[in-house]
Amino acid sequence: MRFPDVHSYHAHECTVRFVTLAEQWNGIESRLDPRWNEARLALTVDDEARAEQATALLGPAAPGRSGATIRFFATRGGRGVGPEAVRTLLRRIDGEGIAGTLALVSASDATVEQPVARDSLAWEWDAAAAQLPADWSDLLCEIALTSSDHLEPAALLLSPLNPLSLDGRLGFQFRVASSFGYGASAGMVRRCLARLDEAGIPGSVRVVRVLSDTHPVGTQGPVWYVGGKAV
């Protein structure tokens, strides 16, 4: 959906300028708390047939899609897609003539995270991270779910981690990088798992493989082969 912004009448003619997605993001950003650290966004495309194209254009933001709605995050002060990068991606969608409505789903500031319950996914991640060697550089992790009903909502909430489905099992694999290379940051992993906790999605998370002190040259990082597939 596009919203009319300016009306000009000239001898029975009406010219309407619509608000672009980039302009919608400008408006959302201007209303955020100055302390904001992360904004969860939902883009609903007017023409669902073009939703796949819009999702591809938002690729750097690791979006998750359900029908005509695409969910992704803008972040500040760390790994992830920043506000200016979001503006650039939305301008590309505008440039393709894809109309839609951008909405703020939720936002968080940079306040200190509170302790979490021992039976939560965030707590499991904290416990697993505490056992990692000090020089870890790359992780391959898995999250197991308890119900197929949770697969789609969990995929959307975990979208910044670029999760991959587990063959024949309920859950996802994802990669984590300590400072550079391919994978989400440890902090982003914790935030995504905390979102699952908040949504009441139970499960378990574990570190499957660990590499330490890697130094990729001309690549984004190491490649693991699991069941004959590169991950």
- Pairwise CA distance, residues 149 & 145, whole Å: 9
**By C-alpha distance, which of 99, 103, 85 is closest to 20?**
99
Domain ranges for the chain, please list them.
Answer: 4-109, 121-219
User: How many CB atoms are located within 10 Å of the residue 22 CB?
Assistant: 18
- Pairwise CA distance, residues 108 & 146, whole Å: 28
Q: In Å, how far are 49, 54, 76, 136 from 96, measured between CA atoms?
A: 13, 9, 27, 42
Q: What is the pLDDT of residues 113-170, one digit of tens each?
A: 445 555 789 999 998 888 888 888 889 999 999 999 999 999 999 988 989 988 778 9
Residues 210 and 216 sit within 8 Å (Cβ to Cβ): no
Options 3.30.70, 3.10.580, 2.60.40, 3.40.50; CATH for 121-219 is 3.30.70
Q: What is the pLDDT of residues 34-86, one digit of tens each?
A: 888 888 899 999 999 999 999 999 988 878 888 899 988 888 865 568 899 99
pLDDT at 8: 42
Q: What is the pLDDT of residues 8-38, one digit of tens each?
A: 434 444 444 578 999 999 999 999 888 888 8
DSSP string, 102-127: EEEEEEEESPPPPP--TTSHHHHHHH
Architecture per CATH, 4-109: 2-Layer Sandwich (3.30)
Where in 62-177 does DSSP place strands (E)? 64-66, 69-75, 100-109, 136-145, 164-165, 171-177
Give 203's strand partners: 145
Same fold: 4-109 with 121-219: yes
